[in-house]
Structure 1
Amino acid sequence: MGMGNWKRGLIVAFGGLLFLALLLLVLGILFSHFLIDLWWYLSLNFGGYFWLRLLYRYILAGGVTLFFFILFFANFWIASRYLGRSARGRVSKGWIHKFQTGAMEVYTPLSLVMGIILAIPFYQQWEAGLLFFFGPGAGVDDPLYGNDVSFYLFRLPIFLMLQRGLLATFLILFVGVGFLYWLENRVIPVERQEFPEGVRIHLSILAFLSALVLAWGLMLQRFALLYVDDHEPTFYGPGFVEVYYHLPLIWLALLAFLIAAVAFIFYANLRRSLYLVIGITGAVVFLVAAGLRHVTLIPEMLNQYIVKANPVTTEGRFMKNNIEATLAAYRLDGATAVNFEVSQRPETDIGEDVADYINNIPVWDENFLYDVYQQLQGLRPYYRFSPVDVARYTIHGRVQQVNLAARELNLSKLPASVVENWENIHLRYTHGYGVVMTPAAQEGDRPMEWYIRDLTLYSPVGFKIDTPDIYYGQENLTYAIVPNKLEVAELPGTKVTPQQYQGGGGVEIKSLFRKLIAAVYFQDPKIFFSINIGEESRLRIRRNIIERIRELTPYLMIDSDPYVIVTDDRLYWLIDAYTTSDWYPISKPTTLEGREREINYIRNSVKIVIDAYDGHVDFYVADPEDPIIRAYARAFPGVFKPIGAMPHVIQTQLRYPRDFFRIQMQIYAKYHQREPELFFQQADTWDFAKVKDVPKLPYYLTVQLVEKSHPQLQPFVQISPLTPIGRDNLRALAIAGVRDLTEGPYVPELVVYQFKKEVQVDGPAQIDALIDQDPEISAAFTLWNQQGSEVKRGRIIVLPVGHSVLYVQPVYLIAAGETRIPQLTRIIVSMGNVVVMERSLKEAFDRLRQELIAKTMRELELRGQTLEGVNPGAPLLPLPEPAREAVSP
């Protein structure tokens, strides 16, 4: 008997364990996405961040759901005390009876459903709720109401959602509960009954709360005036009509509504005619005030006879508010304007120091250079280069501008038989290899000079990369499982034998359970059954660096130009990220090309570094004054590191990001006019320089451009030529860079060289026309085109040299045929309306100087003067200091 019990107990225990194992397995399969995400975050040392994000989302959404549930349930419970208590009357049946008898099985699920529905907006925008609780003060007040800007960035969006939710709640309750009371006392009974006192109190409280929430909505309407665009294109935000017409009407409507609501509630309970008269009067005043806001006649008359008669006087301070808010929102309030005096003797600006320019002027456009890289250095069908990046490195003791691109894995060119093999895709062809690098300055009709080339990563200037493998990059890579049991083959045609993967990162899948979860996640059973997956194997997912960042920090906007960094150890990706908002008060909204979302506040708050080998991600705070990134840093401690913690070798490659500079220039082109009088006239509005109607986007140069009195910038800046809107002459050169990190912390700087309006300075389109008109250049182009080659001209580089403005344009030849490799053949330079074309920059500068001296001598001869002490064939003259006069912001 005892033995039988023991056996039965063993069977039961075994069955229980088997059931538990099966239950865990089923749960694991059902929650495969959750488990893979959790393991992935843990592999990046972001486990705490994963749980915090999950916790915050459900605490916020759950808290709001609970709040609305309590509101509904409490009111239903109160109503249940009075429903179904009539002594005289017919007994209702069906669903009405359930409500009347106060059945909790009806009120509880109904309250829960209503709570969930009303909490959906908060669940969808839970990160906005996070900012509500963690957002710090910005230290800047809006000029109309005096609220700290953080109120609009963090609080107002939540207040608007909460007001809508509460209004819907109390209106639903008032109508629903009132309908049940009406059925109970007026329809179901045989004889009509009066509402009990408790019912009247309940309905009065609901009506009063509805009125309060509606009044709160009217108060919040005041802030909508900060975002009106009725005065565009002159200025953005509230003006005379909004402040002196709409705002008083909002206050009047608010006061009248509260009086009317309270009066009607008292009348409903006390039945005194005085309250009815007050209520009707308040309602009439409210309707009139609300209606006048939608009547266009009065605002049009105010605008016609007061505003337009004295536009700067009436709207001046509102324009000033818009200018100051917009400059602050786009980080333009610290921009430095500098008057640039253009020399009448440009030949004196081509001196010995011009060699610094020659060595770093980028004569290859990134788009043309990409084709060269791909044709000459792709080397394997499964390699494709990332977009060409611009950088600067210290080479032989000198900072030199270079172009480089990462050789990434791309499987689309492989034969179908290779691609269809699961092991090839996920275990064998798993990564790219190394980079190529060329100097920015090249000579025409000469072979391309390389600083890093081939799969051997040969470098004549001393670059070396211990671990050049690229498992994470800009390609849309599928998952990989490395290391694995497959042998690593030597790269064909080289003596290079890559090592089996030895880095960290990735999701461990050594157990059968983890293999099964991974197989379910990817719906790929080969992961579970493959014999080439060993105990050291790790699953690598989200290998596209943009996808990786968006999964980790979806609340950051990412720059469209990630760039690769070469170190002695390995390769890294550096990506600029932005905190943005569309809630900054009175700031002009804009959109960046290629992006749909409209914003009116942006900060380059974060620099993100991703290890191209193991995928590790680090977030560094580049703008600690930004209140949005401070809020996220509070909410997620340990995720965002100070930029001083960034390794020095990566700090040296920090730069002013492209998208940030471009969006700033879109705004600054108009808002550099800081005085209301000038801003209203818009006589000096700028635009990006254009050539043949194509905007010239900002470009990087490695030259020292800012005068010594200004905080020293690194000699790696971004330049944007700007012209008057509708004109082609050059009006300004905007220059953006970062302070030399040896001088202090990371600080971005923006300097704008402005040319005098009365002095003609050729813009890129005018230089392009001069080149077209030059007989020598035109004849050369015609000859080359007739020889079966296609002539292509690159972008025009504009930069200040001394007192003058220099223009450089490369010329490429592309041979006809299937293999079209651009070849740099000539370089055009221009200064002082003189255009020359030579094979190299040095030859072009020498000839340009001679042509300029000759031109000056001819002009002096016409005036009966001579140019003494100048020999056109003499060595280059020293470069004088340019005469510049600081302009007060």
Structure 2
Amino acid sequence: MLAALVIAFFVFASLYTDYAWFAQLGFQQVLTTRWLAGSAMFAAGFLGMAVPVYVSILLAFRLRPVYAKLGSQLDRYQQVIEPLRRVVMIGIPVVLGIFAGLATAPRWSMVLEYFNRTPFGKTDPQFGLDIGFYVFELPFWRSVVAYASAVVLIAGLAALAACYLYGAMRFGGREVRISRAARVQLSVTAAVYIALQAVSLWLDQYAALTKSNSLITGAQYTEVNATIPGREIMAGIAAIVAILFIVTAVIGRWRISVVGTGLLLVSAIVIGGIYPWIVQRLQVAPSERSYESAYIQRNIDATRDAYDVAGVKESDYDATTETASGALAQDAQTTTNIRLIDPKIVSDTFSQLQQSRQYYQFPNELDVDRYDIKGQTEDTVIAVRDIDLDGLSSAANTQYNRTFVYTHGFGVAAAYGNQRASDGKPVFLESGIPSSGALGDYQQRVYFGETSPPYSIVGAPKGTKNVELDYPSGSDDSNDANGGNATTTYQGDGGPSIGNFFNRLVYAAKFQSEQILLSNAVNPDSQILYDRDPITRVQKVAPYLTLDSDAYPAIVDHRLQWIVDGYTTSDAYPYSQSQSLADSINGTESSTFRTDQVNYIRNSVKATVDAYTGKVTLYTWDTKDPVLKTWQKIFPTATEPVSQMSAELLDHVRYPTDLFKVQRSILGTYHVTNANSFYSGDDAWTTPSDPTATSNDSESTAVTNTTTTNALGTQTTATRADQQDPYYLTMKVPGQGTAYTLYTTYIPQQTGSNARNVLTGYLAVDSDAGGAGKGKRASGYGKLTLLTIPKTDNIPGPLQVQNLFNSDTTVSQELNILKRGNSTVKQGNLLTLPVGGGFLYVQPVYVQSTSSGSYPLLQKVLVAFGDKIAFEDTLDEALNQLFGGDSGASAGDSGAASGSGSSAGTGSDAGTGSSDGSGAAGSGSGSSGAGTGTGSGTQSPALRQALADASAALQDRQQAYADNDLVAAAEADKRLQEAISAAVEAENDTSSGN
């Protein structure tokens, strides 16, 4: 009894704290609706199973032959069961009912969708039914029929066992004797079961439109002309057989129902199996293209509509590979905004320069955004300085500190995406702690972030001494976070109150922490903050959404907000091609996926999470989406209209990455809109692999390919983590205006021996939602543009360009200089831009020391246009060299000085106040931006001379190749090698002398 009470208390504590969490956010209706719907479904599942099974057993027992003579074995069975008969008759139905209730309870969402369904206003091409029938109604009715069939089958088996046990059914020789009462009960049960199978067969014809086949998703010629009519015939036969069982119950003859059952089985084999096989093999297969073209066209049209790519603007782009002087003059806005700061590489740089303390951290991959700086929109790389309890020293790592002191992160660091300092560091537009700069005043405390602690206890009455560390302002990192550091007390409303004993008790049970109950640091104004990750918070209040894998921060209306994209999905859109979200997005299953296999998706909700208060706001983004409309009927107060979004928030909303990845996967095949061309499969595209996955010394990405064999042949698609990511850039796409754009590239589908890596397409989407004022989405937002490269053009793809970079003699030699000593080279994101009438490739090159506390610094830039490349200290210089000395446009780093003499940063910058993880001052190397320096940045005369000689030899070598003078080139190569050897020797001498 005591154990039961303890378990009951913990269950109550879980329910109570869940309600307190939802109520604090104002989403209690979501929770209570889920509870009520789930409870109703459990009750329905329980009663729907338990009652029929109990009634079936009870009828078999009540109608048993009273004076039946049983065999000795059955007599012994009865003697054993009789004392427990009542327990068994009740216990079996109850246990089965519990399992049935647990199985049906999670289907609460499907039932609510059915009763609140919204028409799509579009019909399927086969039956002419609204799409909503397949999305909302068909899954419901198929589940009801499947559940009812299971109930009737189990009830029938229970009745059969009871009839045998109590003598209503007896076996003697070749005869089976059944009492009249048992015959009626079993016949009626069989009739109901077969009638349900007739309904199931009838529904199967509609399900054929969402079934994946060898060629497409949806019914093809054989299904439409053989399988579906066969299902209708079999449903009719099953209905007749059900009637025959009723006749058996009345007249007492089993033969007629047995013959009917045999006919049903034979028809299932012949009509359901053999006939469709004959049609497919003998009629369709020899001329498959002509028979299937109409159904392929259905699939093409439905897929493009379901994935919202039907409106993509397609145009031919006859790209040039010629690099004429001034070729980029018309693309000045694009070149100025080319992002050089790679958010996947500079996390260590941000950490060393801006982290400030070990108990803060920046994410491994930073975010990109854009901000209005002095009237001009600037692409930025931004990161939130979140709390990291794992970084606490052993002295500070106490339960008290983890719960009451180290409660929040502080501020952001942001850098210009297109600029770098002369030494290769990012140019910060927001820095320091507290942060200051171009982003203005905002609430900098981050109580709700991606790495916030599982829970923190905050809040205190006015006049109480502050105990929370606010931000470090002194040099002492002691275990009580004092020593001159700024402290604070949380003033928001971010979590449930634990100011009374009862709330402390239930939360102590929830988190299994006696400190919550016993600590004297808990006061009447205390709140407990938990479930603090932005994606987690949105997922809990909007369980019907699939969420984007990246929540990105933005300074909006003087507050730090997390923006999360929410998708409505379905796997039941007729004729739309099904695909895996995990394969399309990042190769891993996510807990935010309602289902992995989908064939309909919309970005219907934009959500924000306030980093200080944790407030979640859901905005209706796609007002036409029938799935969202259905859920708005279920949770009418959960979402707000887009008109409530501020102009500043809209300025930071962007087209979501995960949706774009799904759409690019679909358009790789479904850019082809003609069924015959689609069937041939000779114009299928795929996303190229990330060329930097194998280029960087310290990085590796698992290559996982998906191989599909069907009527289109054997296709191998790079689907997982090795796919090149789409990138955000402010640029001008041909035929469009300048906008914040998300883009990706295509190469031919890797089929069989075909592994060509030339560009075939370029997909871009306008990601600028702001600019039209409060509550008004920009008219161009979400417009997809697909540039198709003619097959006669031979434009190198990303892997080819990366190979050009890596195999070029000049580049490789300069990279070897950068790698000398204890330095490594990291090649950044390879950007592709449709400028100058062709495609420009840009790749930043970072250098990082291998010493402790080092961080990458941007030292060089690689560019390519066609098969021509340039490798210079700045993008501006590289573009000018590539385009005949004058590109006609300037880059964002045109003001950065070359020959900076610093290639690998170590230690901490002055002014960061870091006392716990830096090391020596910056050291590096650089000639033409890649020399060698000591900790103070000075160089020995011998080293300076050697680097100067290397630089001169490189220039002479390049000129010799340009003049086609191989003798002079060989001489310059020899001088270059001698200079490199002299530089290494001089650096070693300098190091040994320190």
Change over 3 Å in CA distance of 1:497–1:724 after alignment to 2: same
Residue aligned with 1:700, SS:
strand
Give the AA of the match of 1:142. D
Deviation of 1:200 (Å) = 5.2
Q: Which residue of 1 aligns with 2:473?
A: 492
Residue aligned with 1:439, SS:
strand
Alignment partner for residue 251 of structure 2, among 263, 266, 270? Answer: 270
Q: Quick check: 1:231–1:237 contact (8 Å CA) kept in 2? A: no
User: Within 1, Cα distance between the matches of 2:69 and 2:868?
Assistant: 106
Alpha-carbon displacement from aligned partner over 1:818-861 (angstroms, at most 9, x marks no partner)? 2331111111222243322222222233333325899xxxxxxx
Alignment partner for residue 202 of structure 2, among 219, 241, 246? Answer: 219
Q: Quick check: 1:811–1:827 contact (8 Å CA) kept in 2? A: yes
Alignment partner for residue 800 of structure 2, among 763, 766, 773? Answer: 766
Change over 3 Å in CA distance of 1:167–1:178 after alignment to 2: same
1:502-651 aligned within 5 A = 502-591=491-580, 592=582, 593-596=586-589, 597-651=596-650
Change over 3 Å in CA distance of 1:348–1:86 after alignment to 2: farther
Change over 3 Å in CA distance of 1:518–1:488 after alignment to 2: closer
> Percentage identity across aligned positions?
26
Deviation of 1:338 (Å) = 1.8
Residue aligned with 1:586, SS:
coil
Q: Quick check: 2:220–2:292 contact (8 Å CA) kept in 1? A: yes
Q: Quick check: 1:372–1:822 contact (8 Å CA) kept in 2? A: yes
Deviation of 1:197 (Å) = 6.8
1:242-281 aligned within 5 A = 242-267=223-248, 269-270=250-251, 276=255, 279=257
Q: Quick check: 2:231–2:272 contact (8 Å CA) kept in 1? A: no
Q: Quick check: 2:838–2:865 contact (8 Å CA) kept in 1? A: yes
Deviation of 1:206 (Å) = 2.4
Q: Quick check: 2:342–2:828 contact (8 Å CA) kept in 1? A: yes
1:98-117 aligned within 5 A = 110-117=92-99
User: Within 2, Cα distance between the matches of 1:580 and 1:729?
Assistant: 33
User: Within 1, Cα distance between the matches of 2:557 and 2:247?
Assistant: 81
Q: Quick check: 2:650–2:769 contact (8 Å CA) kept in 1? A: no
Alignment partner for residue 37 of structure 1, among 15, 18, 28? Answer: 18
Alignment partner for residue 391 of structure 1, among 354, 363, 369? Answer: 369
Deviation of 1:774 (Å) = 3.7
User: Within 1, Cα distance between the matches of 2:26 and 2:240?
Assistant: 58
Q: Quick check: 1:186–1:193 contact (8 Å CA) kept in 2? A: no
Alignment partner for residue 364 of structure 1, among 319, 341, 355? Answer: 341
Q: CA RMSD in A?
A: 3.5
Give the AA of the match of 1:570. R
Change over 3 Å in CA distance of 1:188–1:797 after alignment to 2: closer
Farther-moved stretch of structure 1 (640-649 vs 317-326): 640-649
Aligned pair 1:732/2:709, yes or no? no
Change over 3 Å in CA distance of 1:27–1:770 after alignment to 2: closer
Q: Which residue of 1 aligns with 2:716?
A: none
User: Within 1, Cα distance between the matches of 2:328 and 2:879?
Assistant: 10
1:19-418 aligned within 5 A = 31-73=12-54, 75=56, 82-83=63-64, 110-181=92-163, 186=168, 201-232=184-215, 235-267=216-248, 269-270=250-251, 276=255, 279=257, 282-292=260-270, 302-343=279-320, 346-347=323-324, 350-386=327-363, 387-418=365-396
Q: Quick check: 2:651–2:771 contact (8 Å CA) kept in 1? A: no
User: Within 1, Cα distance between the matches of 2:41 and 2:177?
Assistant: 43
Q: Quick check: 1:80–1:101 contact (8 Å CA) kept in 2? A: no
Q: Which residue of 2 aligns with 1:816?
A: 850
Alpha-carbon displacement from aligned partner over 1:75-132 (angstroms, at most 9, x marks no partner)? 5666676457779999999996999999987755554444333333211222222222
Change over 3 Å in CA distance of 1:25–1:666 after alignment to 2: closer
Q: Structure 2: where are the runs of 5+ without partners?
A: 476-483, 590-595, 695-702, 704-721, 750-754, 889-994
Deviation of 1:193 (Å) = 14
User: Within 1, Cα distance between the matches of 2:17 and 2:765?
Assistant: 42
Give the AA of the match of 2:376. R
Change over 3 Å in CA distance of 1:78–1:837 after alignment to 2: same
Alpha-carbon displacement from aligned partner over 1:260-312 (angstroms, at most 9, x marks no partner)? 3423442453257xx946x566444422221236757x656544443233222
Q: Quick check: 2:545–2:567 contact (8 Å CA) kept in 1? A: yes
Aligned pair 1:720/2:744, yes or no? yes
User: Within 2, Cα distance between the matches of 1:94 and 1:163?
Assistant: 39
User: Within 2, Cα distance between the matches of 1:469 and 1:363?
Assistant: 29
Residue aligned with 2:766, SS:
strand
Farther-moved stretch of structure 1 (100-109 vs 33-42): 100-109
Alpha-carbon displacement from aligned partner over 1:372-417 (angstroms, at most 9, x marks no partner)? 1112111100001133001011111111100000000001122223
Aligned pair 1:703/2:731, yes or no? yes
Q: Structure 1: where are the runs of 5+ without partners?
A: 1-22, 855-889
Change over 3 Å in CA distance of 1:641–1:604 after alignment to 2: same
Q: Which residue of 2 aligns with 1:833?
A: 867
Q: Quick check: 2:237–2:264 contact (8 Å CA) kept in 1? A: yes
Change over 3 Å in CA distance of 1:575–1:740 after alignment to 2: closer
Alpha-carbon displacement from aligned partner over 1:131-161 (angstroms, at most 9, x marks no partner)? 2222212222222333322222222333233
Change over 3 Å in CA distance of 1:821–1:258 after alignment to 2: same
Residue aligned with 2:205, SS:
helix
Change over 3 Å in CA distance of 1:794–1:25 after alignment to 2: closer
User: Within 1, Cα distance between the matches of 2:817 and 2:542?
Assistant: 55
Residue aligned with 1:608, SS:
strand
Residue aligned with 1:507, SS:
coil
Q: Quick check: 1:149–1:585 contact (8 Å CA) kept in 2? A: yes
Alpha-carbon displacement from aligned partner over 1:505-551 (angstroms, at most 9, x marks no partner)? 21111112222222222221111222222222111111122332333
Q: Quick check: 1:464–1:568 contact (8 Å CA) kept in 2? A: no
User: Within 2, Cα distance between the matches of 1:302 and 1:104?
Assistant: 56
Q: Quick check: 2:349–2:856 contact (8 Å CA) kept in 1? A: yes
Change over 3 Å in CA distance of 1:688–1:89 after alignment to 2: closer
Q: Quick check: 1:426–1:478 contact (8 Å CA) kept in 2? A: no
Give the AA of the match of 2:518. F
User: Within 2, Cα distance between the matches of 1:834 and 1:388?
Assistant: 31
Give the AA of the match of 1:717. T
Q: Which residue of 2 aligns with 1:883?
A: none
Change over 3 Å in CA distance of 1:809–1:115 after alignment to 2: same
Farther-moved stretch of structure 1 (320-329 vs 394-403): 320-329
Change over 3 Å in CA distance of 1:782–1:439 after alignment to 2: same
